[in-house]
Amino acid sequence: MSADSTNSRPLEPGATVGFVGTGVMGASMAGHIMDAGYGLVVHNRTMSRASGLIDRGARWSDTPGGVADGADAVITIVGFPADVEQVYLEAGGLFERARRGTVLIDMTTSSPALAVRLAAEGQARGIPVLDAPVSGGDVGAREARLTIMAGGDAPAFSRVLPLLEVMGPNVILQGPAGSGQHTKMANQIAIAASMIGASEALTYAIAAGLDPGTVLRSVTAGSAASWTLNNLAPRMIAGDFGPGFYVKHFLKDMRIALDSAYELGIELPGLALAEGLYATLSETGGDDLGTQSLFTLYRDGLIRRGDLER
């Protein structure tokens, strides 16, 4: 019997949703949930980052676990796997506070192995847990155009599908627990390569004496077109390196992907190259910049031969 068999009805507006993590993306995602008519209870490490939601009527919880009190579903989107473990597993956390049948949805990009562990713990407690990381960055979060990649119990997924679709139109169950995180790793691997490509294309164009904006008008209309070129290359040219997605979080994702690749027995040299370049960016103070700031390594001549040999 499925863990959520006690309540299999779709989660429609009017239900109560807990939300942990109202950062760059989470605040917009939670706002869409409120707009759709769901009741919202929020927690964030820094309360001021949830103030806009509270002003609109969201209830505040002093603890992450407290958002589960009376909630029909809880969404978490925090920074690192260690944060996920704390929110779910520590005393007073979500597993202790959630009632049987509440669906817990971790939208953090995290470890596939941790996703499997959380799902197993939830199954033992009668609390289904989905891993459902997202792609689309700050723009996708603001415009409710996120891609959501889910793994876990199919009946639980069907139950919360109306809630997930509030945040983005492309919501796909990829398979059992951990499948959402593995899909996100594939996504991040592709982005890592595209970020190098965009940075190097602009570096080349500038060195050749071309206007990079004019070059973009040509290459984004042809076979080189990509989300990175369309959305982040203009920010690179403008010198806008604010975070739509933090360097420190992308570096975390790449390291999870490299660890998972090792466990799967495969080599990913392109990803290893990107991880080395972003490690240099981190070491030079770039952790809290956006991922498009990789371009600054090229612009400022900070790429070292050792980075290409990691």
Give catalytic residue positions. 184
Q: Return d(Cα 232, Cα 241) in angstroms, integer.
A: 9
- Measured in Å, how far apart are the chain's first and last C-alpha atoms? 48
Q: Name the nearest CA neighbour of 108 among 173, 25, 191.
A: 25
The 3 state secondary structure assigned to 154-210 is: HHHHHHHHHHHHCCCCEEEEEECCCHHHHHHHHHHHHHHHHHHHHHHHHHHHHHCCC
Q: Do the Cβ atoms of 126 and 98 come closer than 8 Å? A: no
Q: Where does residue 109 fall: left (phi above 0), alpha (psi -120 to 50 degrees), or beta otherwise?
A: beta
Q: Return d(Cα 121, Cα 289) in angstroms, integer.
A: 35
Q: Name the nearest CA neighbour of 63 among 42, 82, 81.
A: 42
- Under 8 Å CB-to-CB from 98, ≥6 apart: which residues? 68, 71, 74, 104, 125, 127
CA distances, 74 to each of 41, 104, 236 (Å)? 9, 5, 36
Q: Return d(Cα 16, Cα 182) in angstroms, integer.
A: 29
Q: Return d(Cα 61, Cα 259) in angstroms, integer.
A: 35
Q: Do the Cβ atoms of 38 and 163 come closer than 8 Å? A: yes
